[in-house]
């Protein structure tokens, strides 16, 4: 185990994914990741969460609203 | 059909190309509704915000100066309209909330002083295999419920970043928050949603 605790690692995940850790912190983070299966799984879970959020289907515009807006666009001239 | 690059998109809208406008309506309205819903208190109100935004876009497209991306411009109009309305609806947006501080993973998941490895996992998080995500519709319901439980500002940030795919810079501009604040809100929101997925997978008994 490195000097980074898992409890600290989990709080650095978002900064790591945004490339916002300073070089020293990033090294500690990556070193810990290489040695700790628990944190590796945690990081994967966060990535999977982000990806799944990105797959959320958007709601549809109600047809009447869509028709109203197309009409307004048409009238713009 | 996909949304064309910005320069072309603006040119087509200015040429009153209806198919392009219809495409934008279909591609962006869902995300806009979701974002609006993070500010106002009902679905009906969110739908009105989206309609009002599109009308403002129609009125403004000829004057749009392209200093930002079209999408950022549209989202900014939406955020302004939604915020005005949320003030009218007397929704308070607290600048800090209790859940903006403290650990994002339950402390009892980690070993305490006196155990062999204080600060390290007591039990490793489960490796989520792709097949876990096969029940997409159910997972989407779980995610939507988790997002709805988040404090407003966390919900706005995670919706923009992870659902809508905005960059950190765009989110800071749209919500008028600092980069550090943006990251804290996103971090807390992601950790919360991850926890909800973990609970769901446990319930689903894998
Ligand atoms: Zn660890």
CA A10 to ligand 1 centroid distance, Å: 8
Interface probe, candidates A1, A8, A35, A49, chain B, greatest B C-beta count within 10 A = A49
Nearest by CB to residue A59, choosing from B33, B104, B162, is B33
Taking the model in full, what pTM does it have?
Answer: 0.84
Reported as a single tens digit per residue, the pLDDT across B18-58 is 999 999 999 999 989 988 988 888 888 999 999 999 999 99
Selection from B1, B38, B48, B40 nearest residue B21 by Cα: B1
Would you call B110 and A8 a contact, using CB atoms and an 8 Å cutoff?
no
Contacts of B144 in chain A (CB under 8 A): 56
Selection from B10, B2, B39, B3 nearest residue B174 by Cα: B39
CA distances from B195 to A14, B176, B189 (A): 15, 28, 10
Task: Tell me the angle at which helices B18-37 and A63-75 cross, rounded to the nearest 10 degrees.
Answer: 130
Would you call A49 and B103 a contact, using CB atoms and an 8 Å cutoff?
no
Q: Using an 8 Å Cβ cutoff, are B77 and B56 in contact?
A: yes
Contacts of B127 in chain A (CB under 8 A): 41, 44
Reported as a single tens digit per residue, the pLDDT across B83-109 is 888 877 765 554 444 456 789 999 999
Would you call B29 and A76 a contact, using CB atoms and an 8 Å cutoff?
no
Residues 113-172 of B with CB under 8 A from A: 117-121, 124-128, 133, 136, 139-140, 143-144, 158, 162-163, 165, 168
CA distances from B56 to B18, B49, B60, B64 (A): 16, 10, 6, 11
Task: Inform me whether the C-beta atom of residue B16 falls under 8 Å from chain A C-beta atoms.
Answer: yes
Contacts of A55 in chain B (CB under 8 A): 136, 140
CA angle A14, B70, B156 (to 5 degrees): 35
Would you call A5 and B187 a contact, using CB atoms and an 8 Å cutoff?
no
Reported as a single tens digit per residue, the pLDDT across A5-46 is 999 999 999 999 999 999 999 999 999 999 999 999 999 999
CA A8 to ligand 1 centroid distance, Å: 8
Q: Which residues, listed in sequence order, are joined to residue B110 by a DSSP beta bridge?
A: B121
Q: Return the number of other C-beta atoms located less than 10 Å from residue B11's C-beta.
A: 12
Selection from A14, A76, A56 nearest residue B148 by Cα: A56
- Tell me, what's the pLDDT at B98? 47
Residues 60-99 of B with CB under 8 A from A: none
The ipTM value here is 0.88
Long-range contacts of B76-79 (CB under 8 A, 24+ apart): B76/B173, B76/B174, B77/B53, B78/B32, B78/B35, B78/B36, B78/B49, B78/B50, B78/B53, B79/B35, B79/B39, B79/B174, B79/B175
Distance CA B30, CA A62 (A): 10
Reported as a single tens digit per residue, the pLDDT across B147-203 is 989 988 899 999 999 998 889 998 998 888 999 999 999 999 999 999 999 999 999
Q: Which residues, listed in sequence order, are joined to residue B121 by a DSSP beta bridge?
A: B110
Distance CA B191, CA B19 (A): 40
């Amino acid at each position: 185990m490195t000097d980074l605790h898992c409890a600290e690692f989990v709080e650095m995940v978002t900064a790591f994914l945004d490339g916002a850790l300073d070089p020293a912190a990033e090294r500690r983070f990556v070193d810990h990741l290489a040695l700790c299966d628990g944190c590796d799984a945690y990081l994967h879970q966060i990535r999977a969460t982000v990806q799944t959020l990105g797959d959320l289907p958007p709601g549809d515009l109600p047809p009447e609203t869509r028709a109203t807006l197309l009409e307004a666009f048409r009238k713009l001239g | 059909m996909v949304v064309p690059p910005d320069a072309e998109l603006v040119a087509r809208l200015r040429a009153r190309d209806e198919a392009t406008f219809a495409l934008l309506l279909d591609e962006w309205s869902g995300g806009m509704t979701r974002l609006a819903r993070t500010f106002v208190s009902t679905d009906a109100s969110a739908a009105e915000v989206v309609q009002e935004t599109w009308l403002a876009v129609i009125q403004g497209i000829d004057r749009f100066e392209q200093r930002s991306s079209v999408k950022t411009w549209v989202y900014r109009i939406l955020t302004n309209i939604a915020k005005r309305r949320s003030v009218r609806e007397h929704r308070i947006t607290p600048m800090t909330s209790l859940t903006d501080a403290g650990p994002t993973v339950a402390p009892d998941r980690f070993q305490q002083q006196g155990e062999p490895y204080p600060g390290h996992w007591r039990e490793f998080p489960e490796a989520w295999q792709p097949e876990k995500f096969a029940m997409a519709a159910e997972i989407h319901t779980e995610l939507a419920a988790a997002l709805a439980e988040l404090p407003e500002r966390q919900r706005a940030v995670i919706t923009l970043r992870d659902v809508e795919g905005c960059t950190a810079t765009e989110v800071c501009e749209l919500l008028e928050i600092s980069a550090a604040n943006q990251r804290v809100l996103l971090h807390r929101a992601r950790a919360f949603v991850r926890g909800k997925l973990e609970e769901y997978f446990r319930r689903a008994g894998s």
